[in-house]
Structure 1
Amino acid sequence: MSQPAQPAAAMQPILRVFRLSHFGLGPKIAVVVLSLIVICSILAPWFAPHDPLQMDPLSRLKGPMEGHPLGTDNYGRDILSRVLIGGRLSLYIGILAAVVSVIIGLVIGLVAGFYRMADAIIMRMMDALMAIPAILLAIALVALNGPSVTSVIAAITIPEIPRVVRLVRAVVLAAREEPYVEAALALGSSMPKILIRHLLPNTLAPLIVQGTYVLASAILTEALLSFLGAGVSTETPTWGNIMAEGRLFFRIKPDLILYPGIMLSLCILSINLLGDAARDMLDPRLKKRAG
């Protein structure tokens, strides 16, 4: 008697998500917009016309002019250069925080869903974390460790882990009662092998969807922390820091907040559209209803 190949089927809808032809017009536009933002952020040192930290007091708070397509800020620094470089760090923090939270949440969720004795202890800890407002927990963590990239990533990651854990646990609780899991147990497969080979593939589809929302939330939280002065050093350009400095001159030059705000909004909107499209693609009920 051989072990069923049921988990292999779980990979097929995941592969379909990466086929752009299955998406509607909205997600396709989101892919293009998000790709442009990522490319511009990665290649910002080459695209930026000026050093984002270079000050020119004689050109402070100027509008668009030669050499400064979007004008300058209150220190005479080029806004376009700061927005491009700021997106680089904002995306880096958001992506890393999302990846770490999904990986940690996946491991903990697999253990909590499969091992009944560990389930009660782990989920009570997750409930305790979820009882604290995420932004307050993030601010407290940054205040304890000081403003740095590592502190911000940890502050964003920890509040997101319980959400991933609850999702993975729910999937594992349903999947462990399936016949192919019972067959694997009857054949004497080890627990780690069952978790990795039979249960892990079932969690990948919902994790892809959840990961997009975690990514959007992480980028937005980083901007919020920086705007409140609890993020990375205020001297480091990020979208949140740029808007935090610009709020003092909003009446005089509102585009100090407008340009980084547009970039942040387009980035979050594109990620959420892709997450919705992935959910529709991977959820059989939604797919059947649409058909």
Structure 2
Amino acid sequence: MTDQTVANIAPPDRPSALSRVREIVFSSPLVFIATVVLALIALSALFAPWVVPHDPVRLQPAVRLKPPSDTFWLGTDAFGRDLFSRIITGGQISLVVGVLAAICAVLFGLLLGLFAGYIRWVDAVLMRMVDGLMAIPSILLAIAIVSLWGASLWTVLVAITIPEVPRVVRLVRSLVLSAREEPYVEAAIAAGTPTWLIMRRHLVPNTLAPLIIQGTYICASAILTEAILSFLGAGINPETPSWGNIMAEGRIYFQINPGIVLWPGLVVSVAILSINLLGDAVRDALDPRMAKRGIER
């Protein structure tokens, strides 16, 4: 084989992460349906002021606890507020809490996990603190934080994020401990490469795919935790519509109008299931082994 022939042999094109996500989403009917459903929930929450047929906070005692009708598609609650409009508007708080909690937990967990896995003395101190924090049930820790600081959106966000950070730290630490023993990392250390550059160039890329799937689990867990806190009266201000608040207000009237609890509960379940399915699809798209199989095909 001549040098000219070798030069003409181009390496196979690697599919981008976006193309892998598109391929997997559209190749699986279940994931495609989950993506569409999640997109509809997110878009309806984003454009809630223009989508909802009624004011979600307007009190109408004359039509309280009405069953579903052409005017009120899902009926009304104990104060005569349109249930459909409140569920759509409540998605704003629930989704914002879920997404922000996932982003914050992943960022803080990534930073702490990198240092714990790469610097041994940091590992000895930090992981004992992480083990102690994980010994406290997350829901109890969240309730304690909200009770100390008062109920608000940012308090709930902090209360949900703090219990999730240790799980991300342990995940990143295990990945860094494995990658630290690889020959290319040892070669970088021997060459005198700065620690921050080794982390950015060699260690962080090895954590991205697992962190994405972990982030989706955190997002789904945060939505559920916010609903639990609001249902227990320790979450968002009751005057602000959220899926948990709607169920909390309707539990007293469950026998009269079960839809007040069932409809927001169904939306929470569908949203969590869709996020988990989509997270699995993104994980598969970013898995190097699946990308390699795609090239071989």
TM-score, normalising length: structure 1: 0.91
Counterpart in the other structure of 1:36: 40
Higher alpha-carbon Rg:
2
1:102-117 matches, cutoff 5 A = 102-117=106-121
How many angstroms does 1:283 deviate by? Answer: 5.3
1:206 maps to a residue whose letter is: P
Counterpart in the other structure of 2:193: 189
**Matching of residue 121 in structure 1 with residue 125 in structure 2:** yes
* CA shift digits 1:47-102 (9 cap, x unpaired): 01111110011110111234322111100011111000001111011111111011
1:169-188 matches, cutoff 5 A = 169-188=173-192
**Matching of residue 262 in structure 1 with residue 266 in structure 2:** yes
**Matching of residue 252 in structure 1 with residue 256 in structure 2:** yes
Cα 1:173–1:23 shift into 2, 3 Å:
farther
**How many residues are aligned here?**
281
How many angstroms does 1:280 deviate by? Answer: 4.4
How many angstroms does 1:16 deviate by? Answer: 2.7
- Partners in 2 of 1:15 and 1:168 — Cα distance? 26
- Report if aligned partners of 2:25, 2:31 keep a CA contact under 8 Å in 1: no
Which segment drifts farther, 65-74 or 222-231?
65-74
- Consecutive unaligned residues of structure 1, counting only runs of 5 or more, are 1-9
TM-score, normalising length: structure 2: 0.89
Root mean square deviation, CA, Å: 2.2
- Report if aligned partners of 1:23, 1:277 keep a CA contact under 8 Å in 2: no
- Partners in 1 of 2:169 and 2:26 — Cα distance? 29
- Report if aligned partners of 1:209, 1:276 keep a CA contact under 8 Å in 2: yes
Cα 1:208–1:11 shift into 2, 3 Å:
farther
1:191 maps to a residue whose letter is: T
In structure 2, the residue corresponding to 1:181 is in which secondary structure?
helix
1:85-164 matches, cutoff 5 A = 85-164=89-168
In structure 2, the residue corresponding to 1:68 is in which secondary structure?
coil
- Report if aligned partners of 1:212, 1:271 keep a CA contact under 8 Å in 2: yes
1:267 maps to a residue whose letter is: A
- Report if aligned partners of 2:15, 2:291 keep a CA contact under 8 Å in 1: no
Which segment drifts farther, 266-275 or 130-139?
266-275
Q: Which of these residues, 278, 281, 291, is aligned with residue 277 of structure 1?
A: 281
How many angstroms does 1:17 deviate by? Answer: 3.7
**Matching of residue 201 in structure 1 with residue 205 in structure 2:** yes
Counterpart in the other structure of 2:31: 27
